[in-house]
Amino acid sequence: MIKLTHAEENYLKAIYKLSDAGKKGVSTNDISAEMKTKPASVSDMLRKLGEKEVIEYRKYYGVHITQEGKILALRTLRKQRLWEVFLVDKLRFSWDEVAEVADELVHVQSPILIQRLDEYLGFPKFDPHGDPIPDEHGDVRSRPRLPLTEIELNGTGQIVAVNDKSAAFLRYLDKVGAYIGARIKVLEKVEFDGSVEILVDNKKTIFMSKDVAVNILVML
């Protein structure tokens, strides 16, 4: 079995997420931005991951995750997202607080612990940010979703996930009252700057900039 360091797990998880977002070949700049580190550090890590055959990297063609790499990345994502559910549902962390703590817990190497954690939580399908939780076989339950900016005028739907998981963004959503599970209706779309006005749960109207709306994902 391939052994990865904590840093290697984090990089592999980032590469998988970027690949899953539709990028055929993930660039070192993509990874650098995701990991918030220098391209030189990324290049050194890619060499290490390539030696362990969890990625393939060819200059000018980008990084491709191997099948073994995908299995390991999904295993890491499963642990992280289950821990996030646990922290929010059982320990009353808010969704903007869990990332750092879950990043520490994810490196615990105990398959039986993760199995029992999943069972204890009732086999959740999605984490507090709306991201799907891979099952023990690595299968991921996806659901169709669109950025709020792409919902038509007078269109309705439900907020099911967010793209931006930074603490500042999540705290902003808490402040304005936009949350996972909220029912929304698009009341206005401003052509000039792409901002939108929505009605939440038939009670509250919220005006959002394009930068905010594009990071809110809605299921019709």
The Cα 81–Cα 84 span in angstroms is 5
pTM, rounded to two decimals: 0.89
Provide the CATH topology of domain 6-65. Arc Repressor Mutant, subunit A (1.10.10)
Kindly report each contact of residues 165-173 with a partner whose C-beta sits within 8 Å and lies 24 or more positions away, as own/partner. Answer: 165/99, 165/129, 167/96, 167/97, 167/99, 168/96, 169/212, 169/215, 170/94, 170/95, 170/96, 170/129, 171/96, 172/212, 173/216
Structure tokens given for 102: 């879950």
Domain boundaries, the chain: 6-65, 79-142, 146-219
Question: pLDDT tens, 57-70?
Answer: 887 788 999 999 99
DSSP strand pairing (216-219 vs 196-200): unpaired
Q: What is the CA radius of gyration of the chain?
A: 19
pLDDT digits (tens, 9 = 90+) for 129-188: 999 999 999 999 888 899 999 999 999 999 999 999 999 999 999 999 999 999 999 999
At 216, the amino acid letter reads: I
Question: 200: which DSSP letter?
Answer: E
22 versus 94: the higher-pLDDT residue is: 94
Range 146-219: architecture per CATH: Roll (2.30)
- What are the percentages of helix, strand and coil residues in the chain, rounded to 5? 45, 20, 40
Same fold flag, 79-142 and 146-219: no
Query: Would you state the CATH architecture of domain 79-142?
Result: Orthogonal Bundle (1.10)
